[in-house]
Amino acid sequence: MNTSQFISKNLDKTIEKVTFTWQTPSNIALVKYWGKSNPQIPKNTSISFTLNNCHTTTSIEFEKTSKNTVVDFELFFEGKKKDDFKPKIAEFFKRIEKYCPYIFEYKMIINSENSFPHSSGIASSASGMSAIAMCLMSLEKELNPNITDEFINKKASFLARLGSGSASRSIEGPLVVWGNHPEIKGSSDLFGTKFPYEIHPVFENYCDTILLVDKGEKQVSSTVGHNLMHNHPYAENRFKQANENLTKLSKILQNGEIKEFINLVESEALTLHAMMLTSNPYFILMKPNTLEVINKIWQYREENNSNICFTLDAGANVHVLYPNTEKTEIELFIKNNLAKYCQKNQYICDNAGLGAKPQ
């Protein structure tokens, strides 16, 4: 795999002090990534809707210093110094230093905040890592003005992936594929690629209401979960199934077969959790209210001939997916019938978005 294309070159300019700010979104996978090899290479292809309202805003102030041997940075989250987040970011810098050697030449002050409530159970690693990656690429563009926007997005996704796999899908939108797949032009294990075919209008501005069923810290991190796919009895079949589902979903997204979309997306969500239930050690991230909500969604769909469906992340929260044309009635259903299963009745209304935005 050609990673040398991402080693920065021709960094001729000198920049003394500069600040960049980016807003980058979270994303929700339709075909799930679960299982990887080193360094952050997915075992199967995944695809996600980029979100719009759930995002991280990060600014990095870069100040030139003499060349350091360790990356020098400070981290503030929502205005407060956050030393407990530092090891994860330090590890990220370690993984990317080969591709961005200039990070040794700057002191970085990182200020970050999320649009969604802290510890809402919404993974902030995708939006958080992609925002840092975009700020680094803005600096790289200053140092080498010849790099193109296309290269910036590709390398930002490549860098973000090294922080958190799913973060590779948070640079562009509304649909991003990550992982090499023979039927998706331009797809790669190294970075996310915008879904390259025309999307049927039914999937435009697709809605995702995130029901905050459980806002607590996950008992099992996704790192541990991914690792449990090594020696998992169903792993090989699962990776094969995911790649086949991507072939099917690619066609569905183009032809607008929404009933097939519902079937595939819900099956993917339950399969992800089935992998957790059948890992050794096994674990359960769903909560009783996750199942209550799923049953209510099925009942509503049946009774109203609706196109509502759900997907799940690695947690108890439920993402309720539906076409924009059904927004009014489904939002009413959520408010009246599903909000009660959420902690403090909290949920977040979101929809597919277009990716990273400079601030």
Q: Does 33 contact ligand PMV by CB under 6 A?
A: yes
Binding positions for ligand PMV, 303-342, rule CB under 6 A: 313-314
Contacts for 154 with CB less than 8 Å, ≥ 6 apart? 191
CB neighbourhood size of 248 (10 A): 15
Q: What is the DSSP string of 135-165?
A: HHHHHHHHH-TT--HHHHHHHHHHHHHHH-G
Binding positions for ligand PMV, 104-143, rule CB under 6 A: 123, 125
**Looking up tokens 């803005």, which residue turns up?**
138
201: three-class secondary structure by DSSP = helix
Query: Stretches 138-146, 158-166, 240-248, 282-290: which one binds ligand PMV (CB under 6 A)?
Result: 158-166
Q: Does 353 contact ligand PMV by CB under 6 A?
A: no
Q: Which of 24, 29, 135, 266 binds ligand PMV (CB under 6 A)?
A: 29
Q: Does 222 contact ligand PMV by CB under 6 A?
A: yes
Q: Does 46 contact ligand PMV by CB under 6 A?
A: yes
Q: How far apart are CA 311 and CA 300, in angstroms?
A: 16
Query: Stretches 162-170, 255-263, 285-293, 326-334: which one binds ligand PMV (CB under 6 A)?
Result: 162-170
In whole angstroms, the minimum distance from the beta carbon of 82 to ligand PMV comes to 19
Query: What does the block give as tokens for 108?
Result: 């970085």
Strand order in the sheet with 318-322: 309-312, 318-322, 207-211, 347-351
Nearer to ligand PMV, 143 or 269 (CB): 269
User: Do 32 and 271 form a contact (C-beta atoms < 8 A)?
Assistant: yes
Q: Does 164 contact ligand PMV by CB under 6 A?
A: yes
Q: How far apart are CA 70 and CA 33, in angstroms?
A: 32
Nearer to ligand PMV, 265 or 330 (CB): 265
In whole angstroms, the minimum distance from the beta carbon of 282 to ligand PMV comes to 16
Q: Does 209 contact ligand PMV by CB under 6 A?
A: no
